[in-house]
């Protein structure tokens, strides 16, 4: 933490600040590592029902359309592009290279298939095939490559480290969080340990081992703990058990998973994705303010960074609400068609769950701003005080009278030495030497007392005479 590997402002750290940060971060890392070892899945597959259906790939070699059957009264008319048969060449499995003639999928929202389309085939135990969906492996790989190139082109080395952190996140989710919950481990503990491991790995990989990153880690952990406590109380108060759809019901019945704990785990992991954004922004903001204004104390750093945090929170809250509304848009349309009263719609389990999730996540997000800002401002102001020189030169005297120098270290408009000021005018070419012939430096130095020259006393002012106004000729 003492060495700054981040690609930003190099902020000097004091020994006391580093020791205080390590006293909190090292136990946190040790506890997280112990939790990973204790809760790590044993590798045994969870007991899940076997369907006996094999998933294969194929290529469409021909499509023959036919007339659609007449629709029953009151039902939607079928799409003519979904009526007919398709010839598919199997690319893997026991019948590789074989052409099979299959019926095109029909019904509302059915996919359209054409020649040379890559498709997904389902093969049952009796060897019968069925077209399931398009094979989207190639488009997804291309999208992923474009995403990685854009991140690296803009973020450069930091973009590379962000992609490494993203890989670490997926690895922990797929190898620890999901298998641990499927094995019957407590979802709350798995989510807390997994979120802490993701936070420590991703933040330090992306932003480097620096003091602002450490303050962001502490702020994220404190806000995440608060979010977990609020979620636990809110779910109990609203009496939500996490069963809102067929997927949660099937998990609770077939795998004996605590659905309420699963809901709480989803809230914690979902909140982590937004919390690290806010905490890193606040910590870096305080570091930049302290770098640009070394005279700022705790109060000024906190107030200035909090103004930025409030603007950030105002936009993030709208983002969270719109994200949940977009995800639940089909369900909202279904409620709108049913013409149910708004009060009944809001109190349904599926809508109430999303409301609690968004409110609790927002409260934790709001708490992250003052917590992280206070931690970062405290360390930055302590660094500035410890870096002030203690041995000051005596003030010069002139003719037995002490010269008073005004202290402007706490003045907002006082000029500060900053070689990296963006708005400072920089010379664009060779500058000619400027000499002044009419100003000479006094012998002995500028502060050497010089003899005072005698000045001619000013003449006394003559009193003005009053003039008598003539009133007649």
Mean pLDDT for the stretch of residues 44-55: 63
pLDDT band, residue 456 (cuts 50/70/90): low
What the block records as the tokens of 151 is: 């991140």
Give me 346's structure tokens.
Answer: 């809001």
- C-alpha distance from residue 131 to each of 83, 99, 156, 367 (Å): 13, 13, 43, 50
Q: Distance (Å, rounded) from C-alpha 265 to C-alpha 271?
A: 10
Per-residue pLDDT tens for 350-404? 788 888 888 888 888 899 999 999 988 888 876 555 554 444 444 444 444 444 4
The answer to whether 193 and 28 have CB atoms below 8 angstroms apart is no
Residue 295 exposure: Cα atoms within 13 Å on the Cβ side: 12
**Tokens 């298998």, located at residue:** 179
Give dist(CA 313, CA 10) in Å, integer: 27
**Phi, psi dihedrals of residue 128, rounded to the nearest 5°:** -85, 140
**DSSP letter (8 states) at residue 11:** -
DSSP string, 301-314: HHHHHHHHHHHHHH
Q: Is the pLDDT of residue 47 over 70?
A: no
Of the chain, the percentage scoring pLDDT greater than 90 comes to: 10
The token pair at 93 is: 């499995």
This prediction has a pTM of 0.66
The pLDDT tens digits for 395-452 are 444 444 444 444 444 443 344 444 444 444 445 555 555 444 444 444 444 444 555 5
On whether the CB atoms of residues 190 and 176 are closer than 8 A, the answer is yes
Give the list of residues 6+ apart from residue 283 with CB closer than 8 angstroms, or none: 212, 213, 215, 216, 219, 372, 375, 376
Contacts of residue 221, Cβ cutoff 8 Å, sequence gap at least 6: 28, 196, 199
- Give ∠ CA 262-264-266 in degrees, rounded to 5: 70
Q: Are 267 and 360 in contact (CB under 8 A)?
A: yes
Angle, CA of 282, 264 and 181, to the nearest 5°: 115
DSSP label at residue 85? E
Backbone torsions φ then ψ of 256, nearest 5 degrees: 55, 50
Least confident of 64-78, 304-318, 338-352, 383-397: 383-397
- Domains, in order of start, for the chain: 15-42+183-386 (1.20.1640), 54-66+80-136 (2.40.50.140)
| % of the chain exceeding 70 in pLDDT | 71
Beta strand extents in 91-202 (DSSP E only): 99-103, 118-123, 129-134
- Mean of pLDDT over the chain: 76
Count other C-beta atoms under 10 Å from residue 470's C-beta. 6
Q: How many distinct helices (H) and strands (E) make up the chain?
A: 11, 7
Residue 325 has a pLDDT of 74
């Amino acid at each position: 933490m003492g060495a700054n590997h981040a690609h930003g402002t190099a902020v000097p750290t004091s020994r006391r600040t580093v020791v205080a940060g390590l006293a909190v971060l090292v136990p946190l890392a040790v506890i997280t590592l112990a939790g990973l070892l204790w809760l790590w899945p044993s590798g045994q597959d969870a007991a899940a029902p076997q369907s006996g259906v094999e998933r294969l790939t194929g290529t469409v070699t021909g499509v023959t359309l036919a007339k659609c059957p007449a629709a029953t009264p009151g039902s939607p008319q079928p799409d003519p592009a979904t009526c007919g048969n398709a010839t598919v060449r199997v690319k893997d499995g026991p019948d590789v290279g074989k052409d099979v003639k299959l019926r095109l999928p029909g019904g509302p929202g059915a996919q359209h298939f054409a020649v040379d389309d890559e498709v997904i085939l389902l093969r049952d135990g009796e060897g019968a095939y069925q077209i399931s969906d398009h094979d989207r492996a190639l488009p997804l790989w291309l999208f992923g490559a474009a995403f990685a190139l854009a991140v690296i082109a803009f973020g450069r080395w930091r973009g590379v480290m962000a992609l490494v952190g993203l890989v670490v996140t997926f690895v922990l989710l797929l190898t620890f969080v999901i298998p641990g919950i499927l094995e019957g481990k407590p979802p709350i503990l798995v989510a807390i340990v997994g979120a802490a491991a993701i936070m420590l790995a991703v933040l330090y990989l992306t932003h480097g081992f620096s003091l602002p990153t450490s303050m962001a880690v502490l702020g994220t952990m404190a806000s995440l703990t608060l979010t977990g406590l609020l979620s636990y109380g809110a779910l109990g108060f609203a009496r939500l058990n996490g069963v809102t759809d067929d997927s949660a019901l099937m998990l609770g019945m077939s795998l004996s998973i605590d659905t309420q704990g699963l809901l709480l785990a989803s809230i914690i992991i979902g909140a982590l994705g937004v919390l690290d954004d806010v905490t890193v922004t606040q910590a870096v903001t305080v570091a930049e303010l302290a770098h640009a204004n070394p005279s700022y104390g705790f109060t000024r750093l906190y107030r200035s960074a909090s103004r930025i945090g409030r603007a950030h929170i105002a936009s993030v809250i709208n983002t969270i609400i719109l994200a949940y509304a977009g995800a639940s848009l089909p369900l909202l349309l279904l409620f709108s068609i049913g013409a149910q009263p708004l009060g009944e719609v809001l109190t349904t389990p599926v809508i109430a769950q999303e409301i609690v999730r968004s409110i609790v996540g927002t409260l934790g997000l709001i708490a992250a701003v003052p917590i992280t800002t206070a931690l970062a401002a405290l360390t930055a102001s302590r660094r500035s005080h410890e870096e002030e020189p203690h041995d000051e030169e005596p003030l010069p005297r002139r003719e037995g009278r002490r010269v008073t120098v005004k202290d402007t270290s706490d003045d907002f408009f006082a000029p500060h030495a900053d070689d990296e000021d963006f708005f400072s005018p920089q010379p664009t070419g060779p500058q000619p030497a400027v000499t002044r012939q009419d100003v000479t430096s006094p012998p002995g130095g500028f502060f050497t007392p010089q003899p005072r020259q005698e000045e001619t006393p000013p003449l006394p002012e003559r009193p003005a005479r009053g003039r008598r106004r003539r009133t007649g000729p």
